[in-house]
Amino acid sequence: MSITSSSPLEVAKAASISSKDLAILPPEARNHALTAIHGALLSAKDTILAANAKDLEAATTAAADGQLSRSILKRLDLGRKGKWKDMLQGILDVRDLDDPEILHHSGRGNSSLLLAAFHLVMFNQTCLRTADP
């Protein structure tokens, strides 16, 4: 599946499926993936922030019309002071965590931060797709 030729819903579904695969990778492979995600986001910063600015325009209109809460609008702004840097640092922080030893499996994974990072990357890839002419 190509992110550039897929709908946002298709991308989200693929991200959900892929995140489960990513969660069961050996620690070295996960860490490599997180490093690659960090690098890809860093390389595409200008494009992502430009797409985010366009999304914010639409979101601001939606918030003014009462279709979107102001708190969600604020969270969407990747250009807000420190937001981009903190997001990228969060990926590295997750990468640098010790791999948890699972002594008892309760049916819930220990990879929620990793999954969140992966979903964020897929969301940003969707933004890149919509930013292309």
The answer to whether 41 and 48 have CB atoms below 8 angstroms apart is yes
CA distance 76 to 93: 21
Q: What is the largest CA-CA distance in the chain?
A: 50
Instruction: Give the per-residue pLDDT at 82.
Output: 93
Task: Please report, in angstroms and rounded to a whole number, the separation of the first and last CA atoms in the chain.
Answer: 20
- Low-confidence stretches of the chain (pLDDT beneath 50): 110, 131-133
Q: How many CB atoms lie within 10 A of CB 30?
A: 20
CA atoms within 13 A on the CB side of 82: 1
Q: What is the pTM of this model?
A: 0.65
Q: How far apart are CA 78 and CA 50, in angstroms?
A: 10
* H helical segments located in 24-111: 27-43, 45-64, 70-76, 83-96
